[in-house]
Amino acid sequence: MLAVQGLHAYYGRAHILADVALGVARGEVVALLGRNGAGKSTTLKGIMGMVRPAAGEIVFDGRRIERFPTWRIASAGLGYVPEDRRIFTELSVMENLDVGRRGQGWTPEKLFALFPNLAEVRDRPAGRISGGEQQMLAIARTLMGNPTCLLLDEPSEGLAPLIVDQMTAAIRELKSSGVAILLSEQNLRFAAAVADRAYVIDKGRIRHAGTMADLVGEGAHTRHLAV
Q: State pLDDT tens for residues 87-129.
A: 999 999 999 999 988 878 899 999 999 999 999 999 999 999 9
Cβ contact 227:188 at 8 Å? yes
Section 181-207 average pLDDT: 95
Cβ burial 91-126 (10 Å sphere, 16+ → b, else e): ebbbebbeebeeeeebebeebbebbebbeebbeeeb
Taken in order of first residue, the domains within the chain and their CATH numbers are 25-49+77-224 (3.40.50.300)
Residue 227: pLDDT band (50, 70, 90) is very low
HSE-CB of 88 using CA atoms within 13 angstroms: 13
Write the pLDDT tens digit of every residue in 124-150: 999 999 999 999 999 999 999 999 999
The residue-averaged pLDDT of 33-40 equals: 94
Name the pTM for this structure. Answer: 0.91
Close Cβ partners of 105 (under 8 Å, ≥ 6 residues apart): 146
Model confidence pLDDT, tens digit, residues 47-66? 999 999 999 999 999 999 99
CA separation (Å) from 114 to 64, 109, 216? 32, 9, 28
